[in-house]
Amino acid sequence: MTTRPTNAFGVFPEPGTVIAGELRRVPFVDLRAQYRSIREEIDEAVLKVLESGQFVAGEWVERFEEEFSRSVGACYAVGVGSGTAALELALRVANVRPGDEVIVPANSFFATAEAVSNVGAIPIFADVDASTLHLDVSSVRSVISAKTRAIVPVHLYGRAMDLEALQALANSRELVIIEDAAQAYGTNIRGVPIGASGRLTCFSFYPGKNLGAYGDAGAVTSNDSIQAERLRLLRNHGSPRKYEHSIVGTNSRLDAIQAAILSVKLRHISAWNAKRVCHAKTYAKVLEGSLIRIPEIPVNGEHNFHLFVVRSNERNALMDFLRHRGIETGIHYPVPLHLTEAYQALGFPGKGTLPVAELLATEILSLPMYPELGDDELDYVRTALCEFSDAGDKRKKMVRAF
């Protein structure tokens, strides 16, 4: 059971509510605030779908796919049921087969590895780089074997990963790269949007993502018409036409209501991402030189700050300190993938094998981050962070460098 702060009536208070005295509630993310800001557009779009009676696939999905592919500069976008499905279908399109090995970073959401397992392949966990927190290319090199077929880098926290070195390694070993961009819509590397590279790139529109639907949804982008066609078949029971099945696929279609909602949100996403970057800069300014270590703030659109993740070797104390002030935080992710119960039960290597990811799991903390985060809330979080950090100065010698 999750325990959340409640008021005397047992009701979780609205964001920004003064709980007692100077105590406020600052949620980690506030999806209702965003809905309220675009309520009319969303309601109108949803009503149109309801009136149309076209609930799965059809014009809304096609329209969104066209807008989405255009927005990332890809030739094709294929809408699917979730980010996890996007990864699974992309792996199948890349001909990853049962028994193949696929290298994934140890610090990611579980689905990155789970999708590999679900196509019958074996995830091989590599460590992450201590400064970018992205897949560490030298660690990848060290785990490549004769069975390796693909690598799945993750544009973690919304920071685009520069794939040049990884691509060179993949080329030299004839490996496929499939990008996990579940968190990175709207970012780019040297001006090339994530999704436009020509590699199969997988997006999640889970509600909490920076481009979030109002239910599960995802997409894969590609510049290859054959790959796109295969994705379309796979998501729809391998069926090019009703009751014809040319391959064994699955049911993982994007539904029309989600597509219509995402089309509305595409109109606002640049402004929302810009707000996130603005909030990130505010956090960075407050925390600069403090004992709480901050991520780099890339300036050219490489980061959308889907998450703002800080590091502290007093992470749990910081989390408790903020919670007692009504400020919600998250940990992305508390257990490195190779140490999760699921993979330990399958006999994967244990503690001590991927030191950076293992250390990160004890130090990282995600601060409240969403475009609608108000000045008052930011100020309130800022004050709390300063208090913690000032108190921490006295414990300075306990803190290690980022």
Ligand X SMILES: Cc1ncc(COP(=O)(O)O)c(C=O)c1O
- For the bound state, the minimum distance from the C-beta of residue 255 to ligand X, rounded and expressed in Å, comes to 13
Between 16 and 110, name the residue whose CB sits nearer to ligand X: 110
- For the bound state, the minimum distance from the C-beta of residue 261 to ligand X, rounded and expressed in Å, comes to 14
Q: Which of 29, 178, 182, 219 binds ligand X (CB under 6 A)?
A: 182
- For the bound state, the minimum distance from the C-beta of residue 389 to ligand X, rounded and expressed in Å, comes to 29
How many whole angstroms separate alpha carbon 295 and alpha carbon 286?
Answer: 13
- For the bound state, the minimum distance from the C-beta of residue 127 to ligand X, rounded and expressed in Å, comes to 17
- For the bound state, the minimum distance from the C-beta of residue 28 to ligand X, rounded and expressed in Å, comes to 15
Q: Which of 218, 249, 295, 371 binds ligand X (CB under 6 A)?
A: 218
Assigned token pair, 50: 């309801």
- For the bound state, the minimum distance from the C-beta of residue 2 to ligand X, rounded and expressed in Å, comes to 18
Q: Which of 204, 221, 252, 366 binds ligand X (CB under 6 A)?
A: 204
- For the bound state, the minimum distance from the C-beta of residue 324 to ligand X, rounded and expressed in Å, comes to 28
Give the DSSP letter of residue 337: G
CA angle in degrees (0–180, nearest 5) for 374-375-379: 120
Say how many Å lie between the first and final Cα of the chain, rounded.
Answer: 34
82 binds ligand X, rule: CB under 6 A? yes
Closest residue to ligand X in the complex (CB): 83
Structural element, H or E, at residue 148: strand 148-151
83 binds ligand X, rule: CB under 6 A? yes
Structural element, H or E, at residue 46: helix 39-52
210 binds ligand X, rule: CB under 6 A? no
Between 181 and 378, name the residue whose CB sits nearer to ligand X: 181
Residue 283: alpha-carbon gap to chain centroid: 20
Interaction mask 87-116, ligand X, x per CB under 6 A: ---------------------xx-xx----
How many whole angstroms separate alpha carbon 179 and alpha carbon 134?
Answer: 12
Identify whether the C-beta of residue 98 lies closer than 8 Å to the C-beta of residue 121.
Answer: yes
How many whole angstroms separate alpha carbon 69 and alpha carbon 78?
Answer: 9
Interaction mask 351-390, ligand X, x per CB under 6 A: ----------------------------------------
Residues binding ligand X: number (CB under 6 A): 15
The string of DSSP letters for 264-299 reads: HHHTTHHHHHHHHHHHHHHHHHHHTTSSSB-----S
Backbone angles phi and psi of 19, in degrees to 5: -80, -45
84 binds ligand X, rule: CB under 6 A? yes
127 binds ligand X, rule: CB under 6 A? no
Amino acid symbol at 101: E
Which range in 77-85, 238-246, 282-290, 339-347 contacts ligand X by CB under 6 A? 77-85
Residues 141-160 binding ligand X (CB under 6 A) are: 154
Q: Is omega for the bond preceding 206 within 30 degrees of 0, making it cis?
A: no
Contacting residues for 278 by C-beta, under 8 A, at least 6 apart: none
Identify whether the C-beta of residue 25 lies closer than 8 Å to the C-beta of residue 19.
Answer: yes
Helix-strand-coil percent breakdown of the chain, rounded to 5? 40, 15, 45
Between 209 and 311, name the residue whose CB sits nearer to ligand X: 209
**Residues that bind ligand X in the complex, under the rule CB under 6 A:** 82-84, 108-109, 111-112, 154, 180, 182-183, 204, 206, 216, 218
